[in-house]
Structure 1
């Protein structure tokens, strides 16, 4: 993790410390799809910051650009214009290798579809990111055990996804997202396939994890009950951000 840049990531010597620097800074972000009269303007000059250790909920109607925004912040897509800084790193300055390392080491992703590997056990699924990083096997086993306990699945380590409920599968996915100790969690409708009660439990778990692990999180959701658990709510409307108290 690079910690010698200033708040803008430019190394300009402003003296801003890592603790003071926002985890995410978005500046005048634009993203369109298509061209001409048929162009869809998903984002129109979006700007906001996310402080460290905050759980931010992103709301908006279907097609409002929530997934587009999350993909840009996570380095899965590139904006037409604007600037994205994650943990002091300007994403536009990274090549594909740098973006891959960023996604592997500093960002954890949680998706609506869980994305677990069916033939692997819960423990093996959680350990996949650490295997990709070639972590020491003992370190990996200890971390997997800790994370499964953290999400309340210590007794389900040997079960495969098909043997777990939807809520349990999403808990495994949360544990997997935390495997490499990311600084930022990005979750796209993580409770979309769950019933209301299970979804609330998963969102409460994510809030607890953010605080216990010292992680920053951006969670896209349309569920009003879940929005109430966030530290802050940002709404996407007509390609712009509206902040709610």
Structure 2
């Protein structure tokens, strides 16, 4: 159920008391220990923390890829753990976009075909699908690479294709797990700048896990996880996107790198 039957909640993500443990007894790993936070619509929130701090586990719970042992998480007013499998699949397909460190592109498909896959799954008409693919590849700076396959693209270009694919079904929430982890520093910064730009232009809320201090400066807020607990919530002072999509004062341009 959505909040207020048609009303639009100010918060896109509401996590309350999330616990997740793997294993049992003396070998149990307590990945999350009572994590609570909210993400407002239009925010780009970064998760930071060392390996094993619980970042990926938290993203999996928010994205409906896993369920908490205790606590709740709501996405646009919906609790993924309370849904049946088909409804949960529909939630992930229609309202959540995923970007992974490993890109996850299908090698035999072109960039355009990779971006179009989520829309094929929704049976979007071909003309509408092709127009959306063209728009998204232009948005991520790859208009001239539509016919190239992943092996013909650089790592940064592959990640741009992955971002375009994540946006294909116009998700409300974008989840990215170390999206720059396989990229060099300059390319990683360009990809993070791109994520920030598309959050503004596509009116998307984003939750991004990263360990790079330089990339954290581009977020609206930074949540720090240590041993499965949120230890800080740092507002960077950047406003969410303006209602007209301009990105607030001065607007936001898609980076050319």
Q: Same fold (TM over 0.5)?
A: yes
What is the deviation of 1:17? 3.5
Q: How many residue pairs are counted as aligned between the two chains?
A: 234
The correspondence for 1:192, drawn from 161, 181, 191, is: 181
Partner SS for 2:174? strand
**In 1, Cα distance between equivalents of 2:39 and 2:204:** 12
RMSD (CA atoms): 1.2
What is the deviation of 1:92? 2.6
The correspondence for 2:118, drawn from 119, 123, 129, is: 129
Partner SS for 1:225? helix
What is the deviation of 1:93? 1.9
**In 2, Cα distance between equivalents of 1:34 and 1:93:** 23
Partner SS for 2:175? strand
1:106 aligns with 2:95: yes
Runs of 4+ aligned residues of structure 1 deviating over 2 Å after TM superposition are none
Q: CA contact under 8 A between 2:48 and 2:55: conserved in structure 1? A: yes
The correspondence for 1:244, drawn from 231, 234, 238, is: 234
**In 1, Cα distance between equivalents of 2:215 and 2:206:** 14
Q: CA contact under 8 A between 1:21 and 1:88: conserved in structure 2? A: no
Partner SS for 1:101? helix
Alignment match, 1:69: 58
TM-score scaled by length of structure 2? 0.89
CA deviation map 1:193-245 (0-9, x unaligned): 00000000000000000001000000000000000000000000121112123
What is the deviation of 1:119? 0.5
Partner SS for 2:11? coil
**In 2, Cα distance between equivalents of 1:154 and 1:175:** 11
CA deviation map 1:137-179 (0-9, x unaligned): 0000000000000000000000000000000000000000000
The correspondence for 2:201, drawn from 212, 215, 236, is: 212
Partner SS for 2:99? strand
1:165 aligns with 2:151: no
Q: CA contact under 8 A between 2:52 and 2:227: conserved in structure 1? A: no
Any unmatched runs of 5+ in structure 1? none
TM-score scaled by length of structure 1? 0.93
Any unmatched runs of 5+ in structure 2? 236-257
**In 2, Cα distance between equivalents of 1:155 and 1:166:** 16
